[in-house]
């Protein structure tokens, strides 16, 4: 019992929990959208960047986070990570329509093409994830998000972002280490994110 309790505070577990927290999909999408909307590009005015970022981040992060907090408070989900597979349909029901709306608004606002592709790719990933969750296993959204982010950054900005692949692998390791997912669930999430990302960003 003591050994099991102490193992929770081992450097490996602490590192895995920290990485999982930092790489929450609703967190990592914020700097990604800010970057894709032209944060570092001199030809994009601050006002335009601000509008693009506020709209897309609101749909991708702010509204889902508020809804998840309400669901948690009302006992409809056990935790914000939605670790119970039977509760995950709620996450997909919330996120898929909001990302779809975000993609539509983004197109209407004439955001950079890479932003529209990203929102579209996430929507597709979530739809596949929902099907996998229903029929097969609890697909790892953390790993799916990390894999998709890697492909998106490499495609948009080049080889400088190849280390993101190692980060995606590390996220998968973290999810297995803290027993949030099995290896199969992590590999499934990574495959969905990577394949959808490659199809959307390389082929479109």
Angle between helices 113-135 and 88-108 (to 10 degrees): 160
pLDDT at 4: 53
Per-residue pLDDT of the chain (204 residues; tens, 9 = 90+): 444 554 667 899 999 999 999 999 999 999 999 999 998 888 999 999 999 999 999 999 999 999 999 999 999 999 988 999 999 999 999 999 999 999 999 999 999 999 999 999 999 999 999 999 999 999 999 999 999 999 999 999 999 999 999 999 999 999 999 999 999 999 999 999 999 999 999 876
Whole-structure pTM value? 0.92
pLDDT at 42: 86
What does the chain look like in DSSP terms, one character per residue?
Answer: -HHHHHHTTSHHHHHHHHHHHHT-HHHHHHHHHHHHTTTT-TTS-HHHHHHHHHHHHIIIIIHHHHHHHHHHHTTSSSSTT---GGGHHHHHHHHHHHHHHHHHHHHHTT--HHHHHHHHHHHHHHHHHHHHHHHT----HHHHHHHHHHHHHHHHH-GGGTHHHHHHHHHHHHHHHTTSS-HHHHHHHHHHHHHHHHHHHHH-
Structure tokens at 30: 């914020």
- HSE (side-chain half, CA atoms, 13 Å) at 199: 11
What is the C-alpha to C-alpha distance for residues 103 and 118, in angstroms, rounded to an integer?
9
pLDDT at 9: 72
Q: How distant is the alpha carbon of residue 149 from its chain centre?
A: 8
What is the C-alpha to C-alpha distance for residues 69 and 25, in angstroms, rounded to an integer?
15
Q: Are 49 and 115 in contact (CB under 8 A)?
A: no
Structure tokens at 129: 């994830």
pLDDT at 204: 64
The residue count for the chain: 204
pLDDT at 176: 97
Structure tokens at 181: 């997912």
């Amino acid at each position: 019992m003591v050994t099991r309790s102490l193992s929770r505070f081992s450097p490996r577990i602490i590192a895995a929990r920290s990485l999982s927290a930092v790489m929450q999909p609703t967190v990592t999408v914020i700097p990604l959208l800010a970057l894709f909307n032209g944060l570092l590009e001199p030809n994009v005015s601050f006002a335009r960047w601000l509008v693009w970022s506020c709209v897309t981040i609101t749909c991708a992060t702010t509204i889902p986070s508020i809804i998840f907090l309400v669901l948690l408070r009302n006992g409809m989900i056990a935790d914000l990570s939605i670790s119970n597979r039977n509760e995950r349909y709620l996450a997909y029901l919330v996120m898929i329509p909001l990302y779809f709306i975000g993609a539509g608004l983004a197109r209407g606002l004439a955001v950079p093409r890479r932003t529209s592709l990203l929102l579209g790719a996430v929507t597709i990933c979530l739809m596949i994830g929902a099907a996998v969750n229903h029929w097969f296993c609890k697909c790892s959204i953390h790993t799916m998000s990390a894999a998709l982010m890697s492909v998106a950054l490499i495609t948009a900005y080049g080889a400088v972002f190849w280390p993101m692949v190692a980060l995606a692998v590390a996220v998968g390791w973290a999810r297995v280490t803290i027993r949030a997912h099995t290896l199969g669930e992590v590999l499934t999430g990574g495959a969905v994110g990577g394949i959808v990302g490659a199809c959307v960003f390389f082929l479109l």
